[in-house]
């Protein structure tokens, strides 16, 4: 059975001066998750926010009562050293910690101030995230082949397998970019091999592009400006959900 549609508005497009209010409001307008973009100015050439801000907005959004539930904080970690920040974001209220494959061969240090010459790996990092009590996601930049994921998804140890794969449909780092349909074959291949996997797409998603993403097999939809910039965000969220559910047999 195909996984359910999950709509995760990206708070990168929210009003930063009223962030808590906007996060709470978008949940009331029908969002399932919040997509929280974390950028460090190293892995991507932009900066957003750290654990203290995430902790503050957590207070405005009810904590999910089950895995993948409403209110999940889907933290997209566009950072160069993802293992260092796992525990800090867990404390801040992160539910799903999604790191980039490209950054997963970095230091194995387990805190921001720590240093280690030992390197981590994608499977080790996924297991570590699970051991901290969070869901684990793995993201791919457009230039990275989907083939790098097969070994990870086929790991004999279930703790080393991700709960979600994120396929970037823009270059990570900035909101408001044009949708890259060239990345959808990655989604198609993932869905063909893993019918029940949560597959997220992020970048340029909105009413004009959702059908392409849904046709490819994506079920977790990140939309920033298309939701927060809409006259009626509830209508856009409903439209995105309907597009996915029509294709996975839920409607």
> What is the block-wise mean pLDDT of the chain (251 residues), using blocks of 10 residues?
90 96 98 97 94 97 97 98 98 98 97 96 98 98 98 98 97 84 98 97 96 97 96 98 87 50
Collapsed DSSP state (helix, strand, coil) of residue 76:
strand
pLDDT of residue 250: 59
Is 168:140 a contact under the CB 8 Å cutoff? Answer: yes
Q: Is 37 a catalytic residue?
A: yes
Residue from 32, 74, 163, 202 carrying the catalytic annotation: 202
> What's the pLDDT score for residue 105?
97
pLDDT at residue number 131? 98
Q: Per the confidence metrics, is the pTM higher than 0.85? A: yes
Nearest 5°: CA angle at 214, between 243 and 73? 90
Cβ atoms of residues 148 and 186 within 8 Å: no
CA dihedral (106, 110, 114, 116) positive or negative: negative
202 is catalytic: yes
In whole angstroms, how large is the CA radius of gyration of the chain? 17
Cα 82–122–127 angle (5° rounding)? 85
Element (DSSP H or E) covering residue 67: none
Q: Which one of 22, 37, 40, 163 is the catalytic residue? A: 37
Cα 58 from chain centroid (whole Å):
16
Distance CA 73, CA 237 (A): 17
């Amino acid at each position: 059975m195909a996984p359910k549609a999950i709509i995760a508005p990206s708070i990168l497009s929210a009003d930063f001066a009223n962030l808590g209010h906007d996060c709470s409001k978008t949940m009331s307008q029908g969002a399932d998750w919040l997509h929280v973009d974390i950028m460090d100015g190293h892995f991507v050439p932009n900066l957003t926010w750290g654990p203290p801000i995430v902790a503050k907005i957590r207070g405005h959004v009810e904590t999910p009562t089950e895995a993948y539930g409403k209110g999940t904080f889907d933290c997209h970690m566009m950072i160069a050293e993802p293992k260092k920040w796992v525990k800090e974001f867990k404390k801040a209220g992160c539910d799903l910690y999604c790191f980039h494959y490209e950054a997963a061969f970095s230091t194995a240090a387990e805190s921001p101030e720590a240093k280690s010459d030992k390197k981590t790996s994608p499977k080790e990092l996924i297991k570590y995230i699970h051991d901290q009590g969070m869901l684990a996601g793995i993201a791919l930049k457009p230039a990275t082949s989907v083939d790098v994921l097969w070994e990870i998804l086929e790991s004999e140890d279930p703790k080393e397998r991700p709960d979600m794969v994120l396929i970037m449909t823009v270059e990570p780092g900035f909101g408001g970019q044009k949708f890259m349909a060239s990345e959808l074959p990655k989604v198609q291949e993932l869905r063909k091999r893993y019918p029940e996997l949560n597959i997220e797409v992020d970048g340029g998603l909105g009413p004009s592009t959702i059908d392409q993403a849904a046709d490819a097999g994506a079920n977790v939809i990140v939309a920033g400006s298309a939701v927060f910039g809409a006259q009626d965000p509830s209508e856009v969220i409903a439209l995105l959900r309907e597009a996915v559910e029509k294709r996975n047999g839920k409607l």
